[in-house]
Structure 1
Amino acid sequence: MTAPGAPVALLVIAKAPVPGRVKTRLTPPYSPGEAARIAEAALADTLDAVLAAPARRRVLVLDGEPGRWLPPGIEVVPQCAGGLDARLAAAFALDAGPALLVGMDTPQLSPALLAPALGGWGPGEAWFGPAADGGFWALGLTAPDPSLLLGVPMSVPETGAVQRRRLLDAGLAVHELAPLRDVDTAADVAEVAALAPDGRFARAVAACRGGAATAAGRQGAAR
């Protein structure tokens, strides 16, 4: 639901869960089809969290076409072309007011984890959610400003540090959300599934043969 007077827009940037195009770092041990099912479940859990949180609007910025996983109540707009820094900047440009952007790689997301950044923001404030791999899982800006994102190196260990420094150098007061682990590798899959055992993500992981084979291999190595 949309809370009366909710000041923040929630943006989700994601790739449609198509085999061979999504979560390719999970193959192996997972097959392309299994990786896509895991990605679909991660995206569905993320959208559930966004729908359950108070927001002025909820927008999925999508690379690809929406599918059966898309619930009612989510606007969908296509991602622009270019690098991830340009696509993030364009996502923020979809809304003129305060907006919090998250990805699809943290299916353990919950309204409680988002809550600190969903109240009223003052001028010159920003929110930053650090990821365990050195990146970031959430970024909140009071207004779109491409200079805060363009040129930040993405998908490298220093991404989060560079992005946070960019915010600070712009004179923004940066508030931090809790750190979360992204799902990028098979090891991430197992750990994140354990953090949210009742979600679609954990059920999808449990149903995949690749994950079962990986777990069996680990048990064998431990003997």
Structure 2
Amino acid sequence: MNLFFGKAKSKTTAKDAIYKLRETLGMLEKRQTFLETKAENELKIARLNATKNRRVALMALKRKKAYESNIEKINGARMTIETQMMAIENANVNLETMGAMRAGAEAMKNIHGSMDIDKVDATMDDIRDQMDVANEISEAISRPVGMGEDLDEDDLLNELEELEQEELDAKMLETPSPVVSAPNVPNSKPAYKQPVVEEDDEEAELRALQASIAM
């Protein structure tokens, strides 16, 4: 135990640091707003007394300058805090990224812990052997049983020749002798076409007149 400084400080996390910096930043913003209001009031006093009371106007301008000096310091502190917050956030992102990558590496190591290249090669050899056995079994199953094992090829050829000769003999017996046919003579008489008597215009007009009288 440290007798002079009390308990040792706990390790500050990135989350705690960012929270504290944001809290400080908010306090500085409120302080800056307050000082800006004070500076504007002093400027108003100086304007009102510029021609009436010179001494009061000068004192008001001095106080305004003091307020503005503090405002500039606060602006610098705010910029520093914002930069520090950004750096901590980036560092925290990098830390989380490295943690995730480290966890991934550990997971891969655990997965590969029970594997090596010799075991993988042996497993692949077993798979290939079993695939060969499966192909042999498939071929054996698909091969016809009892077809062509006890038959003599010469006997089959002789039987085939006999069948071919029988077919040729049958075709020769079925072929008829050629018959000479007489030329075709048409029996029907040519149709007689009666002449068409053309009717002149006068006869046509007369017929039309007779028809109109009959009506």
Bucket of the pairwise TM-score, normalised by the shorter protein: under 0.3
The TM-score, its normalising length taken from structure 1, stands at: 0.15
Higher strand share: 1
Larger relative contact order (Cα-Cα within 8 Å, sequence gap ≥ 6):
1
The TM-score, its normalising length taken from structure 2, stands at: 0.16
